Amino acid sequence: MNIGTASIQSDLPAKTIRYYEEIGLVSPDRAMNGYRDYGDADIHKLRFIQRSRSLGFSIDECRQLMALYNDRTRASRDVKALAKSKLADIDRKLNELNSMKRTLSDLVEKCHGTDRPDCPILDDISGKNLSN
């Protein structure tokens, strides 16, 4: 199948599929005319990568997951370790986001939001309240 059909079946833009080919995540066959010829196995890989990416895995982590998936002698503990590491990254990011939210909520609460020029939000961002 051509890249347009592969795009529809994998739910990925053609540009992303070309990128994944460029970095070696997928390698479709070439038809006699030189065009890419995606098979069912390529679509499966693209869906696998798309799902991995939607769970927050990086390209390199997707590469590791794909290697583990293809290794029938793999130990599931290796897959679990990779997933636990990603989970720890997500928890760290959530903590950072919650901290940002608390800080910004506090600043919004302190700002009167009037026609006056004084603004605790801008003061905090500029570092003015650090000198007090």
Angle at Cα 68 formed by Cα 66 and Cα 73, nearest 5°?
A: 145
The structure tokens listed for 75 are 């130990």
Element spanning 25, H or E = none
CA pseudo-torsion sign 48, 37, 39, 23: negative
Q: Where are the domains of the chain?
A: 1-57, 75-132
Q: What's the pLDDT score for residue 31?
A: 86
Share of the chain above pLDDT 70, in %: 97
Q: pLDDT tens for residues 16-60?
A: 999 999 999 999 998 888 888 999 999 999 999 999 999 999 999
Say how far apart CA 58 and CA 77 lie, in whole Å. Answer: 19
Could you tell me the pLDDT band of residue 64, with boundaries at 50, 70 and 90?
very high
Q: pLDDT tens for residues 111-120?
A: 998 888 889 9
Architecture of the domain made up of 1-57: Orthogonal Bundle (1.10)
Question: For the chain, what is the largest distance between any 2 Cα atoms, rounded to a whole number of angstroms?
Answer: 73
Element spanning 20, H or E = helix 14-22
